[in-house]
Each structure stands twice: as structure tokens, then as C-alpha cells.
A and B are shown apart, each in its own frame.
Chain A
């Protein structure tokens, strides 16, 4: 559905993206992951026909962004990082306007607006002026405008930006509800959000694609070590040594707690089964064994580290 080959874009001589290539299949939900300024938005703007690449080529639905942007614009729904809203309009009149702008058949406009209001939970604010809406509702109106014409491809630039935890969950559910019916490309700098909603992750750093794949495949391919968190009721004598003896455990850190004891284990490969067995055999009262947050964040840091090192010589 989407193909990018050697995409580059420069702003006043500064390279925002540099030779980015990827393919996205129909029905996939793919996340662009990267720090602020990594080049995610530039890639999305090119796919959305908002920007032309300096070099390279991109096609959406078989149409080139260079030569046939109008055909692509019929296929896509686009939510930029700041939703494109007219404050003086009501939600209903705005969505009706966008539906007509996006070539929704005149007879279907009202029903399309109704459907998208249901999807984005906007029924209670249909008659409200957009200027009166909270940030969360504005974001929902933004996503509604991207969906109102039932596009094949949906491009969402930082869709959870500035949302509170409840709104993030709602937005995540909304994105997941699009699975299968639409091809979705979204960007975020929050790794946990990307891995929860996307089938596949494209990691962008300093304008370059540094890795791609599912979270699991990225970890198996690129992340050699994993940090485990082990919670116990008691710590038997010599327990730390028994953990260190497990093949694949490189370091053990003990953190005494008030309601339980915790060990952090730096490991090579997945040794959770062996660690659990050691804890049970030792009668340590196993309360929990999980991959620590450092695992996810560490993955990301590890992926971008070589580029950082290059940048700093």
C-alpha cells in the first residue's frame, strides 16, 4: 500500500530525513518511533502529499506523491500534530465541511458524519463551537476529520500528544478499532504506545531508519541483553549467587523493600524460565517476574546509540 525508496528531504541545507526506505502492506498498523526532531513528521508529511521529497520516491496506493498527489489525497486521512480545526465552526458543521471537501457523496454526508462522531465519541459536542472544546475533544475532532471519508490509508502524527491517561486509552482503542479495515501509519516518541497499537515499528533517528520490525523481532535481532525485575517475599541465603550462576545472567542487583524483596537482573537472552525455577526451588516466595521498563527504553536507546555516537564523532 505504501512504498518509500531512498526518501530524503532538506530544509535550508539541513537534512531532515536521509535515504529512508520502507514498505507498508495493506491493513497494517505501523508506528514511526523516534525522538522529537528525528524526522517522523517529515516522512508523514511526504506521504500525506503536504511536502515533496528532495530526492527519492514514495507511492501510496500505487500513486506517486510527486506526480499524482490528487489521487493520493482521495485515499488518505491525515491528522497532523496540531489538528486543523476552525475555531468558529461547530463540530457538526466542521465535519460536514470536511466530508464535502473529501468528496463524500452529497447524500452520504450526514450518515458519514454520524458514523465518525460515534467512532470518536463526539455525539455530546456536535453543536458546540470548536473553540469551546478541551484539548482531548479537539484531538478527537481531528481524528474524526481524518476518518470521515472512510479512507484506505490513515496517517496520524503524534495522535496521543497532550492527552491525559483516560484519553490515551480511548485513542488507543480507537486506533486499534481501525485494524484490518484501514492501513494506519502513526508516529510517536513514546515507545510503549507504539508497541501497544502497532503491528510493526519503524525506528527513525537523525533522519534515518535505524531499525524495523515487531517489538519482539527487534529485541531478538538487536537487543542482546534484557533487564528482569524479580519480586520475592524472602531472600534465602546464597540466593544472589544462585541467580548469578544461571547461564545468561550477567549482573544481579538486590533492592531491599518494605513489602517484599526485589532483584534486578541484567541478562543476555530470555532466561525468565530459569530464574523462576531457581526462585521456586529456593523457596523464596516468588511474587513476580517481569521484564523491567528498562527493557523497552533500553531497546530504543540501543537502537539510536550508534547514530548518536556517529554524530558526536
Chain B
């Protein structure tokens, strides 16, 4: 665990000591702010719960996009710069590397969410929404962000550079996003399978309405662990490839 935190700490500092972190953070907050004013609040009268649900809908999109940008560099940049050799020749396991990297991006994603808290906070103060609704929405953003980061981290593990990692990560994520559409046009049992695997539609809606189902938490947790373990295997396989 110590090595995992060591890697996470260095990565987190790297976000703050380069433009990358600030640009991602500023862009995410700027777009979330625009969408909050233009669509979530809007010109038409709405009940507070709907404003909050709309906010979480847009924030979920931005969280996924930010997740791809945050994670695409994590391993691909190490390969590009030749620093991965430092890990391979040090007493640290591939799992510690991957989980440390994941933790750093998740922490940064969490920081972005904290900085966005003033928007739902305004709804909470001015309107009538419960703290539970707010907490459920942020739990969803955290789980969705963690899933996007783990998917993009896997893309980073199998890609030779950041650009390819970003494109591959986005491709994987979009595939998971549109699986619900695929589910609509196929027959059972694939219909149920694709519907369950879709990352946003079925699992997102309850959270945005303030409802937390254990099955949805398990789903996002499974996605995270699956892709992190795939990343571990991809790193282990590099010793065979060179």
C-alpha cells in the first residue's frame, strides 16, 4: 500500500506541476458552469430536484471526458519518456503501479468535483432538495469517474503514446456508453447483457434521482476492478514483449 501511495502522490503532484492538470480542471469547471446555467437552470420554471438531476446529467458527461484526459497519460507517457524502466527495475509490483496511478487520477477527479460543489450547493440553498439526493449524485459522479479512469488507464497501458491512448480510451468508453442503443436492436439474451453492460443509461438514472441501488454500485465497482486488473496484465506482458 505504501508504494501505491508513493506512486499516487508523485502523479498527483505531477498534475499540479504541469499545465495538464490545470487545463483539464479549468475546462471541466467552465463547461459544467455553462451547462448548469444554460440547461440545468435554464429559462423555464423547474422544480429543484429536476435542476439537480439535469446538473448531474451534464456533470456525468464532463466527468467521463475528464477521466479520459486524466488517465490517458498515466502509463503511455511513462513509455514515451522511457521512465517505465524505473518501475520495472525497482521492487514494486505491476499492481502497485496501476493502482497508484489510478488513485492519483481519481483524487484529481475528486478535486474537480469538490470545486464544482458550489453549483448543486446553490440549488440546495435556494431550492428544496435533500442532502441524500446530493450525496447520491456525487457518489454516481465518483463511480462513473472511476470507471472512465480505469477504462482509459487500460487504454494507456496498451498504447504506445498519449494520443493513441486518448483515442483508444474514448473509443472504449463510447462503446460502453452506446451499448444501451445496441441492446434495443438485439434479441435476448444479448439484449439483457448489453443493457446491463451499458455504463451510463440504466445505472446512471437512479443515482441522478437520488436513489442508490447496491447493484449499480457493484456494477461500477466491477468495471473499475476489471479494467485495472487488465492494466496489470498488460504491464506484466510487457516483460515478454520488450
Contact = CB atoms under 8 A, between A and B. Distances in A.
Interface of A: 9, 11, 42, 45, 48-52, 69-70, 73-74, 76, 78, 80, 82, 84-89, 97-98, 100-103, 145
Contacts, number: 66
A103 B6 contact: no
12 contacts: A49-B239, A51-B239, A52-B240, A73-B92, A74-B91, A76-B89, A84-B83, A84-B84, A86-B10, A86-B81, A98-B86, A101-B3
B235 to A, nearest CB: 12
Nearest to A78: B89
Given A50-B85, A84-B83, A97 B90 contact: no
Interface residues of B, number: 22
Contacts of A49: 88-89, 239
**Do most interface residues of chain B lie in helix, strand or loop, or is the interface mixed?**
helix
B187 interface: no
B127 to A, nearest CB: 43
Q: Which of B10, B86, B93, B240 has the most CB of A within 10 A?
A: B86
A38 to B, nearest CB: 16
Given A97-B10, A100-B6, 6 more contacts: A48-B89, A52-B240, A84-B82, A86-B10, A98-B86, A102-B90
B239 A101 contact: no
Contact of B239 (A52, A85, A87, A145): A52
A49 B236 CA distance: 11
A88 B14 contact: yes
B158 to A, nearest CB: 17
Interface of B: 3, 6, 10, 14, 17-18, 81-93, 239-240, 242
B6 A97 contact: yes
A145 B86 contact: yes
A132 to B, nearest CB: 13
B10 A70 contact: no
A292 B49 CA distance: 89
Q: Which of A48, A78, A101 has the most CB of B within 10 A?
A: A101
Given A101-B3, A102-B91, A84 B239 contact: no
A42 B9 CA distance: 32
Given A78-B85, A84-B86, A145-B86, A70 B239 contact: no
A51 B242 contact: yes
A156 to B, nearest CB: 12
Contact of B82 (A52, A73, A82): A82
B12 to A, nearest CB: 12
Contacts of A88: 14, 17-18
A41 to B, nearest CB: 10
What 3 pairs between A and B have smallest CB-CB spacing?
A78-B89, A84-B86, A84-B83
B7 to A, nearest CB: 8
A293 B202 CA distance: 76
Contacts of B10: 86, 89, 97
Nearest to A10: B242
A45 B238 CA distance: 12
Contacts of B86: 84, 98, 101, 145
A100 to B, nearest CB: 5
A50 B90 CA distance: 10
Contacts of A69: 239
Contacts of A11: 242
